[in-house]
């Protein structure tokens, strides 16, 4: 987690689609040999500068409700 990402030659860090600033590197996962994606790396970047409403994750309920009382309408 953190540090410098391992990127393919010629690739640069991602930029935010909303504010166009460089995104923050969070982590990488290298897939093991027997995995379907063996030899590939998944890299996670996220913008830590802006918070566009279209990209905000909905809040989580403090208590599970049954029925959902319309909570899932938000998703």
- Give me the tens of pLDDT residue by residue for the chain, a chain 75 residues long: 678 888 888 988 889 988 999 999 999 999 999 999 998 999 999 888 887 666 666 666 677 666 666 666 655
Is 72 domain-assigned? no
Q: Which two tokens stand for residue 21?
A: 């600033």
pTM confidence score:
0.59
CA–CA gap between residue 66 and residue 4 (Å, rounded): 44
CA–CA gap between residue 39 and residue 64 (Å, rounded): 40
Domain count, the chain: 1
Is 14 domain-assigned? yes
Is 16 domain-assigned? yes
Is 8 domain-assigned? yes
Is 69 domain-assigned? no
Range of the domain at 2: 1-49
Measured on CA atoms in the order 58, 29, 3, 8, is the torsion positive or negative? negative
């Amino acid at each position: 987690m953190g540090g410098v990402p391992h990127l393919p030659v010629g690739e640069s860090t991602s930029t935010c689609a909303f504010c166009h600033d460089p995104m923050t590197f969070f982590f990488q996962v290298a897939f093991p040999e027997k995995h379907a994606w063996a030899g590939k790396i998944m890299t996670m970047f996220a913008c830590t500068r802006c918070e566009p409403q279209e990209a905000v994750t909905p809040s989580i309920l403090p208590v599970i409700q049954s029925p959902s009382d319309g909570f899932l309408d938000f998703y």
